């Protein structure tokens, strides 16, 4: 019984680490993957580097999107599209004012 009580703080730290670090990261990765799969032509997006544009085509073979920007057409990897920024951009104007 003494051995078990000496490991309780260690077990508690592992559980806390899981619920505050690992689980939220897994949930976020799942949401980002779902977001990337649901992209469609005509969506306005922002890349993680800050490039704004509209999706005009996909390349499923290379897992990329072609985005039309003010500078022309640029090809980006799907993972470079920012989920948070793109969702903020596409919110109706009434919702943008509330935050």
Quote the CA–CA distance of 40 and 16 in Å, as a whole number.
38
Does any domain span residue 24? yes
Evaluate if residue 97 carries a pLDDT over 70: no
Would you state the pLDDT for residue 55? Answer: 94
Work out the average pLDDT over 72-99.
82
Please tell me the total count of domains within the chain: 1
- Residue-wise pLDDT for 66-76, tens only, equals 999 988 999 99
Report pLDDT for 22. Answer: 94
Q: What pLDDT is recorded for position 3?
A: 78
Confirm whether 7 is domain-assigned: yes
Comparing CA positions, the residue from 46, 83, 45, 40 lying closest to residue 60 is: 40
The secondary structure element, H or E, covering residue 33 is: helix 23-37
What digits encode the pLDDT tens for the residues 13-53?
Answer: 999 999 999 999 999 999 999 998 899 999 999 999 999 99
Q: Could you tell me which of 72, 71, 75, 79 has the C-alpha nearest to residue 39?
A: 79
Provide the residue range defining the domain that includes 12. 2-92
């Amino acid at each position: 019984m003494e051995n078990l009580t000496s490991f309780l703080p260690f077990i508690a730290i592992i559980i806390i680490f899981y619920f505050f670090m690992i689980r939220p990261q897994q949930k976020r990765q799942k949401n980002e993957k779902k977001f990337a799969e649901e992209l469609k032509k005509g969506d306005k997006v922002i890349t993680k580097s800050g490039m704004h544009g509209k999706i005009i085509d996909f390349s499923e073979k290379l897992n990329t999107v072609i985005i039309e920007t003010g500078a022309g057409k640029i090809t980006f990897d799907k993972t470079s599209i920012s989920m948070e920024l793109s969702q903020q951009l596409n919110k109706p104007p009434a919702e943008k004012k509330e935050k």
